[in-house]
Chain A
């Protein structure tokens, strides 16, 4: 009898586990156009407040690159009600953590607090949008800090400039060609007026989404979100019209140099559809097939069996307008870069000529299911995903059903997509090299 009871309990728990996977949320618009998303999860006394702005490295004047990232620094400098230098003290003295990050497509700010500080988080984010102080002291300080960040991440780090070297060669007219962190000369030349104009253009409630997630009471959170954000005036709509890239029809070849490396790298990079497109999902699966795990075709062949590569990777870098699909390898010993490239090409060619095996196809499905389960494991991660799917994918329900897209992909589609995009004449071949020794 006891035993039965126990297993019954177990069943109930298992049932809970499956349904707990679904992320529930509520959403509404404020009158000023700001979108608000609420997600309640009371399992730990933690709350995340976050705002995603639809502005990224790709936006703005091309002689002023790096503004989006620069703002991610500047908007911690203080507001009309938060003194300069106080931002981080307020967060940490209330037991919170906070950060922000910028991609080519969007800028994201968030705080995580013990749940009794929900109001504080909303106050801070609304202050940032309503009336931040943008002055010369802040600009000058953050200008130096950003330069140090660039040195740290790009100039002093082995392989640090690799992505920038790919995109500057892969894109010709679309702003993805420019470094997300920007050109330092552009930041040096920028005036205070230009920073203020940029803020006015992009930092408007109708270009932002607020997420409140975690240990909240929905009615209370709703009220607070309105109290703090509704008074912020609506701005002009942001209109974008980026130039379209012409398809690449002839292999581009380029070289880049890094003083911090000894071992060169070979990269083959393709310009592929942006992350919303079905083909982008299929290319995610292709990258997993090629290099996800020790049994993947490229790892197994180049690293394990033929011992030609120290590392090999196929990545699908997700962006809104175009993704970058790249094959990347580091040679082992004296293996020429051309050999590595030819070996990788051979496997891509196989994908184009034959269907992948049923077993490998099932493996892919299992890997993506595992990834899906893990993708919603923290409240702050869920907050970020909700904002992203709403703002950049135009479909917030992807938080629960993105997995269905992967599930619906067939082996034939995988083959067709490999054929459509991964051809030699459609790509950039980049040799990423150590700086040459002195001439003989």
Chain B
């Protein structure tokens, strides 16, 4: 078997890429995509830990499925928000959504 650390590094790399996407992308949908990446990195992490530490227990799988569900829900809500904003302002640029500025 491949050492656990490889999966962890993979997950970390994906996470960072996703983080970069969230922090630095202009387009709001791209931000959501970054969030999805971060979620998936988490899932990889979870599955790796499950497989390598306690493969017999079902807890890891269940945890991963829950995270899937959360990711899906969050993506749909996020997209709904962005669509409603788009309908108002005809733009999805994240920088311009600063109404809560002081």
Do chains A and B stick together as partners?
no
* Chain B residues within 8 Å of A, Cβ to Cβ: none
* Chain A residues within 8 Å of B, Cβ to Cβ: none
